[in-house]
A and B are shown apart, each in its own frame.
Chain A
Amino acid sequence: DAGVTQSPTHLIKTRGQQVTLRCSPKSGHDTVSWYQQALGQGPQFIFQYYEEEERQRGNFPDRFSGHQFPNYSSELNVNALLLGDSALYLCASRTTGGKETQYFGPGTRLLVL
């Protein structure tokens, strides 16, 4: 049973570019959340997707957008990259309505130069 998977593992971009990160949830999970973790800090919630819609959003600008597909996989898009967007981007999944934990993927490390 595959856990949460993310791609790519590492990415280097320059300021002003756009990036797309991908996530496949754990088998049986239908809810995907995205987090940004800057170096030395705890993860910060970006947004959550369920039934192909954004259900909740954290305090991130509109440059951050996402999508969920019918197979529950998800994408995170960041436009007009800034140096401060350099971070580890984590995807987490769970089954909606359950009390279980959220399972995190291995993350995508983004470096913006």
Chain B
Amino acid sequence: ELKVEQNPLFLSMQEGKNYTIYCNYSTTSDRLYWYRQDPGKSLESLFVLLSNGAVKQEGRLMASLDTKARLSTLHITAAVHDLSATYFCAVSYNTDKLIFGTGTRLQVFP
């Protein structure tokens, strides 16, 4: 069965620094998603990656996909406090059933 692992689980970073969150999945996937979740809130869609080598950027966040390595990364550039949240990656294959990772709880401090 498709399994998804994220690391790190917790990330405390200083404003202005760069960091990367990693998402590994166990078997073939045709779609990879990144979501953001604020405490007590629902999931906000950030990116959908559909093909090998796909790269998408929005503001200080950039996501990429390597289907051969079964790896996606979410890169944070010059972090700001507003990025503090939990970030989930999720994958699916030929289905709408999303398999979510464990989440990465990001805290950005001054």
Query: A103–B102 contact, CB under 8 A?
Result: no
Interface residue stretch chosen among A12-20, A38-46, A76-84: A38-46
What CA separation (Å) do A94 and B35 show in the bound complex?
15
Chain A residues in 8 Å Cβ range of B96: 31, 33, 48, 55-56, 94, 96, 102
B101 touches A56 (CB 8 A): no
Residues of A within 8 A of B100 (CB): 42-44
Chain B's interface size range is: 20 to 34
- The yes or no answer to B68 lying at the interface (CB within 8 A) is no
Q: Which residues of A contact B95 (CB under 8 A)?
A: 56
* Most chain A CB neighbours (cut-off 10 Å) among B48, B95, B97: B97
- Contact among A94, A99, A105 for B50, CB-based, below 8 A: A99
The B contact surface, by secondary structure, is: strand
| Number of cross-chain contacts by CB at 8 Å | 58
Place the interface of chain A in its size category. 20 to 34
- Taken together as a complex, chains A and B put the C-alpha atoms of A58 and B2 apart, in Å, by 12
Q: Which residues of B contact A (CB under 8 A)?
A: 4, 31, 33, 35, 41-45, 48, 50, 88, 90, 95-103
Whether B48 and A101, one on each chain, are in contact in the complex, defined by CB atoms closer than 8 angstroms, is yes
**CB closest residue in chain B, given A104:** B43
Complex alpha-carbon distance, A44 and B101, angstroms = 10
Chain A residue at minimal CB-CB distance from B99: A45
Offer 23 A-B interface pairs, CB within 8 angstroms, sorted by A. Answer: A33-B96, A41-B102, A42-B4, A42-B100, A42-B101, A42-B102, A44-B100, A55-B96, A56-B96, A92-B43, A92-B98, A99-B48, A99-B50, A101-B45, A102-B45, A102-B98, A104-B35, A104-B42, A104-B43, A104-B44, A104-B45, A105-B42, A106-B41
